[in-house]
Amino acid sequence: MKTTITLLTLLIAAAPAMAADAIVNPLSPDADVIAAGRKLYHSAGCIACHGNNARGAVGPDLTDDEWMRKPTDEMIFNTIRNGRSGTAMSGFSGDMTEEQTWQIITWLKDENAKRKAPK
């Protein structure tokens, strides 16, 4: 009985954390973050496959609204860090910090917003 109560208490306490376990971009889209992301996109070599301004080449466009998988922060983060086995997209976790990965993602989002802004 005591064990049951303890387990229940634990489950209730853990519920909010479990519901909020999706990985989300912790950075705010400040100009310096966006600039750092743009720089990293070039220095890490993404440009070779995803093209100028990430508008696509061998790899897909990363600034439009067409994605191969649902474009959650978590999916994009994991794809950049771990790559996709069986494709040319390799993982970059050894080449940059998690914060740098988020900087690139912040820049990609900003490029997407710029494309949508009325000209």
51 binds ligand HEC (CB under 6 A): no
> CA distances (Å), 27 to each of 31, 99, 114, in order?
11, 8, 18
Among 27, 55, 56, 67, binds ligand HEC (CB under 6 A): 67
Helices (H), 1-119: 2-19, 31-43, 47-50, 73-82, 98-116
Judged by beta carbon, residue 15 or residue 114, the one nearer ligand HEC is 114
Instruction: Show the site string, 76-95: x = touches ligand HEC by CB under 6 A, - = not.
Output: x--xx---x--xxx--x---
Among 23, 35, 44, 55, binds ligand HEC (CB under 6 A): 44
Residue carrying the six token digits 């889209």 = 29
Judged by beta carbon, residue 35 or residue 44, the one nearer ligand HEC is 44
- For residue 76, give the nearest of 7, 13, 22 by alpha carbon: 22
CB atoms within 10 A of CB 4: 8
Which residues contribute to the site for ligand HEC (CB under 6 A)? 44-46, 48-50, 58-60, 62, 67-69, 76, 79-80, 84, 87-89, 92, 104
